[in-house]
Structure formats: C-alpha cells, structure tokens
Amino acid sequence: MKIPVVRDILEANERIAGQNRELFDENRLLVINLMSAPGAGKTSLLERSIDALKNEISMGIIEGDIQSSQDAERVARKGVPAVQINTGGECHLDGNMIRDAFKDLDFKGLQLLVIENVGNLVCPAEFNMGEDYKIMMLSVTEGDDKPSKYPLMFRKSRVLLINKIDLLPYVDCSMERIEKESRRINPELTIFRISCKTGEGLNDWYSWLREQVNNKKK
C-alpha cells in the first residue's frame, strides 16, 4: 500500500530533521529553507543578501539541484562556504540529504545557514530539514494563481518574497491577488515585494534576517 510507505518516509525524515534541529540550536545557528519554482530568483537573492550582509552576518549555503554545481559556484564566488547537493532526480532536499553537507561546514563559525532547495512548488514543503523557517519565493512572471494552486507551500512558509516586481508593467499579474490569496491560506505570512535586479524592497528583507539572527543568539 502506498499511503503507509509515504507515511513511513515522512516520519523517518521528521526524526532526522529533529536531530538536525538540535545541532543547529546547540550552535545558535539560524537555518532557513528557501523554496520556489525554477527560475524565481533564489540564487540571485542569495548573491544580493551575501553582498549586503557579509560584514554583519557569517553565513553558509547548502545548494540543492538535480544536477550541476552552477548555483554553489555562484555563491562561493561571493566568499561564503557553499556545499552542493545533487539529488540525482529527487525533486526536493530532505533531512538526511543535508546531513552529508555538515562535514564541510563549520557551524561554530556561522550565524546563518541558507538551504536553497530544489526548484519545485510541491515536494519541498513536505520535507522538514530541521530549519527554523521555510521561505517561499514567487516571481511575478509565474502569475498570480500560484497560492490557490500550490497552497501547501504558502501554508508552511513564514515569509513570502514576491520577486521581479520590476517586470510588473510587462506581465499580467496582480500583486493584490497574490497577497490576498496567500494571507487567506496563511494569515501569519510576512510578505516582501522585491526585485533582485534593481534592489527594490530588499532592505526590509535584510532587516528581517538581522532580527531573526539576533533572536537566535539569545
């Protein structure tokens, strides 16, 4: 039967995620799980965030992709430790996968760990890794119907980053509809309108990150 097998997989992952969380908490390390569809701008967001915060917050990156190491190479060029995980076909990262990256990261020297998940609007939301927060990124080029089509991603997330707002004059997308539908699914959701190209709105995102890192230290 498929349902018991799926349940067993998720329960096993939860146990491993709990162990990961204990390790993160011991090191007072803020961990975020960055999720989106392919091409929404996750790596561009990381590059911008590293440039803005590297003198304030020590961070490491775990990159998840089905193949290639392009994203890890991009963020590594910014001078932060980055580890690539290739899933070999899996549509998400899970608690066990990221454990393999721990040996290449000095947690005691980090304040923030960002896990850039595989580009997918379904599976990543189902698998915890021990993170503090799930962060959802949506680009306006994807349209304004994604909250209603993929509600689990929005329900599980703490923050929604609406990216590529510089393209709003050229696409048929209602920001108001995105925000209304997202908050209907998750009233506690914090929403930032941003452009990783122009930098618009990113200062509020940086402030949110600073606050969470400082809270983790307490």
pTM over 0.85: yes
* Separation between Cα atoms, residue 23 and residue 162, nearest integer Å: 31
Distance between start and end Cα atoms, the chain: 46
Please, are residues 62 and 98 in contact by the beta-carbon 8 Å criterion?
yes
101 pLDDT more than 70: yes
Residue 218 vs residue 177, higher pLDDT: 177
204 pLDDT more than 50: yes
Give percent of the chain with pLDDT exceeding 70: 94
pLDDT at 8: 57
Residue 6 vs residue 45, higher pLDDT: 45
Domains in the chain with CATH codes:
2-213 (3.40.50.300)
